[in-house]
Amino acid sequence: RSSAASDVYKRQKAFNLIPGGVNSPVRAFKSVNREAPIFVKKGQGARIYDEDDNEYIDYICSWGPLILGHNHPKVIEEVKKIIENGSSYGLPTKYEVDLAELIVEIVPSIEKVRLTTSGTEATMSAVRLARAYTGRNKILKFEGCYHGHSDALLVKSGSGLLTDGYQDSNGITDGVLKDTLTLGFGDLEKVENLLRNEEVACVIVEPIPANMGLIETHKEFLQGLRRITEETKTVLIFDEVISGFRLALGGAQEFFGITPDLTTLGKIIGGGYPVGAFGGKREIMDLVAPVGRVYHAGTLSGNPIASKAGFATISYLKENPNIYKELAENTNYLVDNVEKLAEKYGVDVCVNS
Ligand code: PMP
Mean pLDDT of 153-160: 86
Phi-psi region of 162 (alpha: psi -120 to 50; beta: other; left: phi over 0): alpha
E strand segments, the chain: 40-44, 47-50, 55-57, 112-116, 138-142, 180-183, 200-205, 235-239, 262-266, 276-280
pTM (predicted TM-score): 0.96
* CB-ligand 1 contact for 119 (6 Å cutoff): yes
d(CA 21, CA 23) in angstroms, rounded, equals 7
Looking at residue 353, its pLDDT comes to 63
Q: Which of 95, 133, 146, 273 is catalytic?
A: 146
- Clarify whether 146 is annotated catalytic: yes
pLDDT over 70 at 159, yes or no: yes
| Ligand 1 pocket: which of 60, 147, 273 to mutate (most atoms within 8 A of CB) | 147
- Percent of the chain, pLDDT > 70? 97
* CB-ligand 1 contact for 26 (6 Å cutoff): no
Looking at residue 328, its pLDDT comes to 93
* CB-ligand 1 contact for 147 (6 Å cutoff): yes
Residue with the bigger pLDDT between 5 and 329: it is 329
d(CA 317, CA 116) in angstroms, rounded, equals 22
| Ligand 1 pocket: which of 204, 241, 242, 262 to mutate (most atoms within 8 A of CB) | 241
CA 39 to centroid of ligand 1, rounded, Å? 22
Closest CA to 116 of 308, 279, 259: 279
SS3 324: helix
* CB-ligand 1 contact for 120 (6 Å cutoff): yes
Q: Which of 267, 273, 308, 316 is catalytic?
A: 267
pLDDT over 90 at 183, yes or no: yes
